[in-house]
Structure 1
Amino acid sequence: MALSAGTRRTVACVLVGLGAALLVAALMIPTYTVSKVAKTPLDLEITTISENQPGEESLVLDSRSLTTGDGPAVVDTDVPLISQRFVTVEEPSDADEMTLQAGQTLRRTDVQGDTGLLTAAIDRVTISRTTGEPVEADPNGSIAVTVDREGSVMEPVQHTGLGYRFPIGTEKKTYPYFDINARKSFDANFIEETEINNTKVYRFQNIVPVTSTWDVVQSPANRLTLPASKWGVTDVEPDAPVTMTRYYTNVRDLWVEPQTGTVIKGGESIHLYYARSGDKPEVTALKSHIVFDDATVESQISIAKDNTDKLALFGRTVPIVLGILGVLALLAGLFLGLRGGGGTPAHATPRGGRTTPAPAAASGATAASDWNADEAPTTQFPRGDYDGPTEQIDINKRP
């Protein structure tokens, strides 16, 4: 059924308005909505597992040998190690900031029970959900490496630099990266762009220089005084007390998915040792190269893909669809509007092609003013072709 001119004009206006609204939405979503979506989710839960690399050096000091026996300290070789880290979101967290808590352990798997635990720490930091940088509050985090009867002892620690995530839209540049053992940030330098399981990643390397752990935390384990014989020192008397400090250094490699800032793979070459001078290692406490296992890498890729799909949906797919629909609606509205302009004339010409003559105007204003409503003259109109002549029918006529 054909639409009337008025209906066509109404539909055309609606379509033009709808098309304009869709085009505006297509332009606004990438700039406004994506900025809301491009944030680290508040339901984040990440478990990473790292293992020492087969065929590479893996040394661990047997701590019992420091206090028992007469011989020097024993350093075990080819020790199987596993590092676990569990990251969750805690309060305070809101639309712009989030507090991450990471529990980390490193243990040797060839020893049962707590004796296999080498290090343990809990790290908390409040970061920006977009940049991954710690907030400016002081303190913005805390670290626990000891426990008492009430649980972990959290010490306020001001964090600087990135920690567990890189920014949304990671760039090929140097970023500061925080090390919880040194409690300082050091440069994470961009090394290369590569792929892991068909996922594009940026590789960064973070080098932690030799650091005295005693200067960081004055824990008894970070500075020990033992007989020279126990340290294996031969340049003094065997029973002479020798004090050594524990030093720490690390070379950390990080493979980051750039769109989401997700760390797909991580590896650390850790070296802890006792020495009288930091530049001359004497007794190794820990030396190993640990890397994310395959299951962790696949899990991190899955997390990154979920987030990139969400960014692609709002940043590309939805705007394109809305833009196409907006253009189609505009074209349809313009077509109907222009086509609806050719309507039927306001006064149709009567059948027969002759127009109805207008009444003759009065000869003057005075005459018009003298008429009363009941005395208005009757105007005679000539009979047109509107109707045929009246025919009289004789009802008494017989056939």
Structure 2
Amino acid sequence: MLPRSRIISVVLIGLGAALIAASALAPLFMHTDGRVAVDGEETTLSLRDPHATLRSIAHPEEGATKTRVLRQLHTTVEEPSDADGAQLRVGVSVTREGEHSEDPQDLGGLHTAQVWSFGIDRRDGRVAGDMRVIEQIASPTRTIPGEGWWFAFPPNPEERTYDLFDDTLRGFYPADFVENTTLEGRDVKHYRQHIEPQNVARHYAGPLNTTRLPDGSEGYLYHSARRDLWVDEDSGVLLRLSEGIDDYYGRADGSRAEDVFTFQGEMSEGDIQARVDEATRLGGRSVADIILLVCVILGAILLLAGMVGALWPGRGPRRRRRAEDAGSEDGHAAAADGTPVA
């Protein structure tokens, strides 16, 4: 029968091996990898340009004028949403801030508004399935295929190119990795998207995509953009966004005729700090990660302790050696006094 110490060592080895094996197999049955953060029910990205140029939709004859402009992307999480996917609704609006006219068509300075609905894969943030857009109340829903990302990044984003959505062209265009840097003490990845002027009417039909120029010729809406995004490495939260947009009516050859919308928007310092606070709250290891890490460490300790106990010389061998030593001493004593030794 094994000594008690050996039995305990075998039990420790078994427990340690079981904990390590369970930790290794856990990802097959539970979500331990990072997921795109959608814990907040609502998120608003606000970008302002105090010197933007805007052409009034209600009064196009007035041409483009300098004004303060607010561009917002307001995101809400809809049902159904779970650990694998989330349904998002994104409202995109451009508003002229400051004094507004009493014209009912002015709509409080609202210039344009769209509402997008789509799903994302929470493992990598990629748009899953089709995207649906409503441009105005009671207008039909339009659908486009989702082929990239729209401001939803996974934790630990890669140093790679992400195809990001442009809501004017309604397509996905590359945003290249620029550098690793820091923002408000957090490690971030900086990406940049640059879109050359494109004829919007060639992408889809819309009431604002064409116009009649002063010389009587047909004009086409051209759109170009440059975006810089700073993404938190730990949580994948977008901490800072800047946008440069240049929309104008041009001729078929692309030559500029009339300004429509020029915008150099930046987030405020307060909004950036709020995003940093949100990333700090969402960042770090998940509870599941911590539990599995503790299980691995504990399993390794138990396994090592069991192996040491099993290989270390036990009490049984020491007792046998002491008995043999005692018998040898008795034999020597008997030989010395002439007593026969069996």
Spell out the pairing of 1:63-82 with structure 2 (5 A cutoff): 63-67=57-61, 73-77=62-66, 79-82=67-70
Q: Which of 144, 151, 159 is 1:172 aligned to?
A: 159
Q: Does 1:145 align with 2:145?
A: no
Q: Which of 42, 45, 50 is 1:49 aligned to?
A: 45
Q: Tell me the amino acid that sits aligned with residue 132 of structure 2.
A: S
Distance 2:168 2:221 in 1: 12
2:57·2:111 contact (CA, 8 Å) conserved in 1? no
Distance 1:9 1:128 in 2: 51
Query: Which deviations, in whole Å up to 9, do the C-alpha atoms of 1:199-242 show, x marking residues without a partner?
Result: 1111111122222233334332322236x2xxxxxxx5xxxx34
Q: Which of 19, 25, 28 is 2:16 aligned to?
A: 19
- C-alpha displacement at 1:59, in angstroms? 1.1
2:169·2:200 contact (CA, 8 Å) conserved in 1? yes
- C-alpha displacement at 1:309, in angstroms? 0.9
Q: Does 1:275 align with 2:250?
A: yes
Distance 1:45 1:277 in 2: 44
Q: Tell me the amino acid that sits aligned with residue 177 of structure 1.
A: L
Could you say which residue in structure 2 is the equivalent of 1:322? 295
- C-alpha displacement at 1:342, in angstroms? 6.0
Change (3 A) 1:324 1:167: closer
Paired residue secondary structure (2:300):
helix
Could you say which residue in structure 2 is the equivalent of 1:388? none
1:212·1:246 contact (CA, 8 Å) conserved in 2? yes
- C-alpha displacement at 1:110, in angstroms? 1.0
Q: Which of 99, 106, 111 is 2:94 aligned to?
A: 106
Q: Tell me the amino acid that sits aligned with residue 50 of structure 1.
A: S
Paired residue secondary structure (2:285):
helix
Change (3 A) 1:265 1:33: farther
1:159·1:183 contact (CA, 8 Å) conserved in 2? no
Change (3 A) 1:278 1:143: farther
- C-alpha displacement at 1:102, in angstroms? 0.8
Change (3 A) 1:330 1:285: same
Change (3 A) 1:283 1:171: same
Q: Structure 1 stretch 259-268 or stretch 10-19: which is displaced more?
A: 10-19
1:105·1:119 contact (CA, 8 Å) conserved in 2? yes
Q: TM-score, normalised by structure 2?
A: 0.78
Paired residue secondary structure (1:171):
coil
Query: Which deviations, in whole Å up to 9, do the C-alpha atoms of 1:266-306 show, x marking residues without a partner?
Result: 11101121222463222211111112222332232233333
Change (3 A) 1:278 1:44: farther
Distance 2:18 2:241 in 1: 46
Distance 1:323 1:301 in 2: 32
Could you say which residue in structure 1 is the equivalent of 2:263? 288
Change (3 A) 1:192 1:53: farther
Q: Which of 116, 123, 126 is 1:123 aligned to?
A: 116
2:37·2:236 contact (CA, 8 Å) conserved in 1? no
Could you say which residue in structure 1 is the equivalent of 2:338? none
Distance 1:268 1:25 in 2: 47
RMSD (Å), alpha carbons: 3.2
Q: Which of 204, 207, 220 is 1:220 aligned to?
A: 207
Distance 1:33 1:201 in 2: 31
Paired residue secondary structure (2:284):
helix
Q: Does 1:250 align with 2:234?
A: no
Q: Which of 55, 63, 76 is 1:88 aligned to?
A: 76
Query: Which deviations, in whole Å up to 9, do the C-alpha atoms of 1:344-396 show, x marking residues without a partner?
Result: 89xxxxxxxxxxxxxxxxxxxxxxxxxxxxxxxxxxxxxxxxxxxxxxxxxxx
1:49·1:82 contact (CA, 8 Å) conserved in 2? no
Q: TM-score, normalised by structure 1?
A: 0.68
Q: Tell me the amino acid that sits aligned with residue 127 of structure 2.
A: P
Paired residue secondary structure (1:282):
strand
Q: Tell me the amino acid that sits aligned with residue 52 of structure 1.
A: R
Distance 1:106 1:283 in 2: 19
Query: Which deviations, in whole Å up to 9, do the C-alpha atoms of 1:167-195 show, x marking residues without a partner?
Result: 44322122222212101211111112211
| Structure 2: tracts of 5 or more residues without a match | 101-105, 321-342
- C-alpha displacement at 1:114, in angstroms? 1.6
- C-alpha displacement at 1:34, in angstroms? 8.4
| Structure 1: tracts of 5 or more residues without a match | 68-72, 229-235, 346-399
Q: State percent identity of aligned pairs.
A: 24
Spell out the pairing of 1:337-376 with structure 2 (5 A cutoff): 339=314, 341=316
Change (3 A) 1:331 1:169: closer
Change (3 A) 1:175 1:328: closer
2:36·2:153 contact (CA, 8 Å) conserved in 1? no
Distance 1:224 1:259 in 2: 47
Q: Tell me the amino acid that sits aligned with residue 53 of structure 2.
A: L
